[in-house]
C-alpha cells in the first residue's frame, strides 16, 4: 500500500521515533509547528478518524495511553495540544490516522 506512515512503521522510510509499542508508533513531524511536534499513529492502516470502529478502537485507546508517556518524556510539564485532522475540511494530508502532539511553547489560543 502506498502509505507514507505504513512505510515509516515498516522502516522503509526513515523517521525519528520517540516511542513504540505493539500497537503504536510515535515519531517527530518532518515539518515541526512547535518546539515539540510528535505524530502518534496506530500500527495498522486506519485511513482517518472516520475509520475508527469497534474492531480497531483498541489502537486508538493505545494511542491515548501512550500520549501522556510521550508528553512526559518530551518534558511537556506545562501542557500540550493533541490534534487529529480528518478529511477535506480538516485539511488531513496523510491518509493514515494520526494524532499531533504539539507543545514546548504557549500555543495560539484560537484553534481554528
Binding site for ligand 5GP (CB under 6 A): 4, 13, 15, 27-31, 39, 85, 91-94
C-alpha cell at 81: 495540544
Instruction: Decide if residue 4 touches Zn ion (CB under 5 A).
Output: no
45 tagged catalytic = no
Instruction: Decide if residue 34 touches Zn ion (CB under 5 A).
Output: no
Instruction: Decide if residue 96 touches Zn ion (CB under 5 A).
Output: yes
Task: Give the integer Cα–Cα distance in Å for 75 and 88.
Answer: 33
Residues 6+ apart with CB under 8 A from 37: 28, 29, 100, 101, 102
| Selected catalytic residue, list 45, 96, 98, 100 | 98
Residues taking part in catalysis: 98
Amino acid at each position: 500500500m502506498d502509505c507514507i506512515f505504513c512505510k515509516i512503521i515498516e522502516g522503509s522510510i526513515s523517521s525519528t521515533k520517540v516511542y513504540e509499542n505493539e500497537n503504536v508508533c510515535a515519531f517527530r513531524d518532518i515539518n515541526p509547528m512547535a518546539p515539540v511536534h510528535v505524530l502518534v499513529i496506530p500500527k495498522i492502516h486506519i485511513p482517518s478518524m472516520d475509520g475508527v470502529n469497534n474492531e480497531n478502537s483498541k489502537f486508538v485507546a493505545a494511542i491515548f495511553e501512550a500520549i501522556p508517556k510521550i508528553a512526559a518524556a518530551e518534558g511537556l510539564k506545562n501542557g500540550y495540544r493533541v490534534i487529529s485532522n480528518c478529511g477535506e475540511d480538516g485539511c488531513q494530508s496523510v491518509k493514515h490516522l494520526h494524532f499531533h502532539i504539539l507543545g514546548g511553547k504557549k500555543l495560539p489560543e484560537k484553534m481554528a
